[in-house]
């Protein structure tokens, strides 16, 4: 019995058991990688949305007047921000969604009456798109809601809403 070795059946059973264990470990690894990637993507979306909201907040809090839909005729949800303490042209700002009738994929900020235009989503590590931008203006208060998405790369989206009140 001592020198006989392993039978073919014993060898096949042990190989089957090892295959099941390795398949379980590899599926656990793949699942944890997917969860980590999803978490990283959601964190990135939240960080970028917060940066966009901070930019809007900074301009709106110091505004002397807010207008809706007047600064960008192509987007009825655009928010015009006027600050009379700045020059030239009272340095107005306009926040809107790009494209015809505000259905584009970028969140834009015009400054100095439209002479300078900034894409608030540019410079990110992943291409982000704005899938929505709506505003409600009850001067001196404005409610801004926008959605950011990293589709088709990761397929995540996140909605941001903020209520801002100008101080001036």
pLDDT of 73: 76
| Amino acid 53: pLDDT | 94
What is the pLDDT, as a whole number, of residue 72? 81
Q: For all residues of the chain together, what is the average pLDDT?
A: 86
pTM of the model: 0.75
**CA angle (129 as vertex; 124, 134 as ends), nearest 5:** 125
CA angle 103, 105, 107 (to 5 degrees): 95
Q: Could you tell me which residue, 156 or 1, shows the higher pLDDT?
A: 156
pLDDT in tens, 122-139: 877 778 899 889 999 998
What the block records as the tokens of 141 is 């208060």
For 16-73, what is each residue's pLDDT tens digit?
999 999 999 999 999 999 888 888 888 888 999 999 999 999 989 888 889 998 888 7
Does the pLDDT at position 155 exceed 60?
A: yes
Residue whose token pair is 């235009």: 117
pLDDT of residue 114: 67
Residue 113: name the closest of 134, 83, 75 by CA: 83
| pLDDT score for 148 | 92
Task: Please tell me the distance from the alpha carbon of residue 19 to that of residue 61, in angstroms, as a whole number.
Answer: 62
87, pLDDT greater than 70: no
pLDDT of the residue at 83: 81
SS3 117: strand
A 10 A CB-CB count for 1 gives: 3
Nearest to residue 130, comparing CAs of 34, 40, 56?
Answer: 56
Task: Characterize 5-36 residue by residue with b for buried, 16 or more Cβ atoms within 10 angstroms of its Cβ, and e for exposed.
Answer: eeeeeeeeeeeeeeeeeeeeeeeeeeeeeeee
* Cα 36 from Cα 40, distance rounded (Å): 6
């Amino acid at each position: 019995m001592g020198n006989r070795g392993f039978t073919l059946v014993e060898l096949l059973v042990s190989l089957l058991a090892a295959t099941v264990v390795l398949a379980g470990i590899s599926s656990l690894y793949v699942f944890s990688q997917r969860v980590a990637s999803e978490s990283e993507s959601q964190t990135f979306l939240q960080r970028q949305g917060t940066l966009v909201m901070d930019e809007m907040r900074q301009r709106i809090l110091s505004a002397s007047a807010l207008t809706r839909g007047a600064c960008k005729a192509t987007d009825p949800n655009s928010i015009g921000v006027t600050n009379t303490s700045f020059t030239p042209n009272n340095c107005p700002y306009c926040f809107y969604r790009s494209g015809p009738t505000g259905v584009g994929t970028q969140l834009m900020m015009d400054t100095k009456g439209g002479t300078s235009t900034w894409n608030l989503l540019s410079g990110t590590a992943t291409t982000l798109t704005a899938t929505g931008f709506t505003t409600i203006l009850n001067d001196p208060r404005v409610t801004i809601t926008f959605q950011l998405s990293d589709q088709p790369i990761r397929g995540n989206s996140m909605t941001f809403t903020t209520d801002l009140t100008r101080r001036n």
